[in-house]
Structure 1
């Protein structure tokens, strides 16, 4: 029998209330940064700024992260992979029926995504065209390699009848057995996330990479606006390349597979409002908060001290935003559960990327200042940016609702409420005291 004996830790002791272990180590993201940094230097030296050079940047940061994950963290040994490397591999013949059903489900999934790409006209114009050309070139290889990969993995999975198998059953029909519809739905949601966001991320990689390669460094240290723009460009490039790796490497042997995709409609609506073609905050959109306004460099013109200070703040906010993506390593993606992070900026707040992104918009656009001198524009811009902030708060809450089904997230969330500076600050503002952790011991 266990009893609660209260909580009176030594405030100076870090072990009194330890943070739950993170699913990702610091080393994964650092390895990716090193690889990306080296390739960026090479590309700048030789002036390689094309789309393929941007794609190579994704590879340059992805390979070191995979190697670190396998060789140092040994993530393939985690029980959460569902793979038993110690047990003898099953025979191909014994697994072939299951594997064929899964391959049918996987190919049907890719066909459905391809049809959606064909329907969405925006996928065939602008920067999206590069993503479509790349995926079309990769499609035959993916189809071919998926056959040995699925068979190889099924021979080692503890339970090969997973969500992909259920979807294959649903596609084939009665001959393959009755499908678990909960698994079918989870498979569909997971691949909807992957299909939608992978194309978007690939489409913006070349532009973000080229902006860093093409940036002129003349008098950079003497121009706070130029230096701020260059450093912010680097941070966005890091964010985009790292996030793209995350969407591409959803694989069980790397323990980076999607456990669950957000099942709540509100979560999907909140997320999709922030991305094209549904984005509401872009130029001319319903939540566009730039009407009659100007960016920070206009309002600080002729005030170098203010430019240096505000520029430094914007770089800091963007750096934390990029760090929040780097912390994921190879597991970044929206609307999914791929393991609970508790390290890096996720020890300060549960949503460091959302917090810093929204603060950045306030300090970069200064919506309370307008070039028109119109009070109407000022009120509208501030109100619409507030609505944008509310959308991200909505996203955060739906993500918490999704992840709270995992006891590991519950433990992390409770620890954050007691220890993290941002949750503690807001708790102080509203006058709420965090619950003390429970300490148990055998009853006498």
Structure 2
């Protein structure tokens, strides 16, 4: 197997090597599909079966990562596997400080869950029950885990240690500047998004299990709807695994959380309870619209083609999440992904998602018949797309601190089809809107 310790080095294709191999996502997908078929056969559509799907997805990825890719040996884990671990007496004080910081963090998260009203409604109720049940187990397991890993870490005095120093006070020493903020940002991402993913997985799973074969095959619209629901299940299952397994031995730990306020703002307004694009929100572009199947109902061939395009876009969206393997997460750097759809564009999920919205809603058509509604909906959907462009730029600004991402970005500018197409369009405009031709330079090259 090729050495994966330097993800910024170039692979056989010249593209910088991805931090995650193809095999990780593939085995996770096999596990998820296998369990879903079993649950579908026996009609298991309850919330526990949905969480079991996450487990069926995650366990094979853990096994592949450790046994095949051997990610625990990567230098990026910060773990030293050579020689004997440090004596316990040298690290026990560090571990105590880190446990204090970790438990204080969990206490703060529990307080936040208790105070924020939305965690008492809808799917969040089940998510809170899961987290409450897991809390005592995690509390107990955190002790041997921290004690073990501190004896192996090259530098055990990490961000959690710095926060523990602040919790304990002067007796533990002064925390290193900036580390407390890094720690809190990382755990804020995990706390906010893990609860959200756990709240939506059961319904996504049930929406797939409850389909009947006869209904699926009754026409292009039901078939497209079933496939889209299945692909969204893949997306949420992989994302949930990603938020759960931020662990150093899997090399899936958070290297950094986005420090930019703009990055957090751009991301949070896309998720409840802050979502702006939902029903009744300021960017709600659905008023007076109808589903794509309504507008195309009298055109069977176009209906089938349109449904196929929506399935394809959803497939690209789900594939972009699968490519992360164990490492999917918003607002964080957990290794640079350069394979799969990330060979075409830096942001395949955002591109596919926004194209899906435009094609599924068709905002230029309205049930009211008023052109003002069509203009308004198109403008609001354009603003929604602009939000995702904003998210993409803030993510690039965050990741650009890593030389691996800069290498990847430079390679994309030279070789990837979508960045090259955008560069050609910009080049044509800069030259006075000349016709697009193969001779227009890309990115000044």
**Normalization by structure 1: what TM-score?**
0.94
Could you tell me which residue of structure 1 aligns to residue 353 of structure 2?
A: 357
Question: How much has 1:271 moved relative to structure 2?
Answer: 0.1
Q: Are 1:269 and 2:265 matched, yes or no?
A: yes
Could you tell me which residue of structure 2 aligns to residue 232 of structure 1?
A: 228
Which of 108, 111, 116 in structure 2 is aligned with 1:112? 108
Which of 377, 389, 396 in structure 2 is aligned with 1:400? 396
Question: How much has 1:216 moved relative to structure 2?
Answer: 1.9
Superposed CA offset, 1:79-115 (max 9, x none): 0000011121112222110000000000000011111
Counterpart CA distance in 2 for 1:228 and 1:326 is: 20
**Aligned residues of 1:289 and 1:380 also touching (Cα < 8 A):** yes
Which of 430, 439, 442 in structure 2 is aligned with 1:433? 442
| Structure 1 runs not aligned, ≥5 long | 1-13, 437-444
SS of 1:180's equivalent? coil
Could you tell me which residue of structure 1 aligns to residue 127 of structure 2?
A: 131
Q: Are 1:298 and 2:294 matched, yes or no?
A: yes
Alpha-carbon distance change, 107 to 435 in structure 1, aligned in 2, over 3 angstroms = farther
Could you tell me which residue of structure 2 aligns to residue 8 of structure 1?
A: none
Superposed CA offset, 1:239-272 (max 9, x none): 0000000000000000000000000000000000
**Aligned residues of 1:87 and 1:156 also touching (Cα < 8 A):** no
Instruction: Give structure 1 regions of 4+ aligned residues with deviation exceeding 6 angstroms.
Output: none
Which of 26, 29, 32 in structure 2 is aligned with 1:36? 32
Write the mapping of 1:53-92 to structure 2, written as runs, cut at 5 A: 53-92=49-88
Question: How much has 1:332 moved relative to structure 2?
Answer: 0.3
Counterpart CA distance in 2 for 1:87 and 1:188 is: 33
Write the mapping of 1:22-421 to structure 2, written as runs, cut at 5 A: 22-421=18-417
Superposed CA offset, 1:341-382 (max 9, x none): 000000000000000000000000000000100111100100
**Normalization by structure 2: what TM-score?**
0.94
Question: How much has 1:221 moved relative to structure 2?
Answer: 3.0
Aligned length: 422
User: RMSD across aligned C-alpha pairs, in angstroms?
Assistant: 1.0
Which structure has more RCO (C-alpha within 8 Å, separation ≥ 6)? Answer: 1
Could you tell me which residue of structure 2 aligns to residue 11 of structure 1?
A: none
Superposed CA offset, 1:381-425 (max 9, x none): 000000000000000000000000000000000000010011001
Counterpart CA distance in 1 for 2:364 and 2:213 is: 32
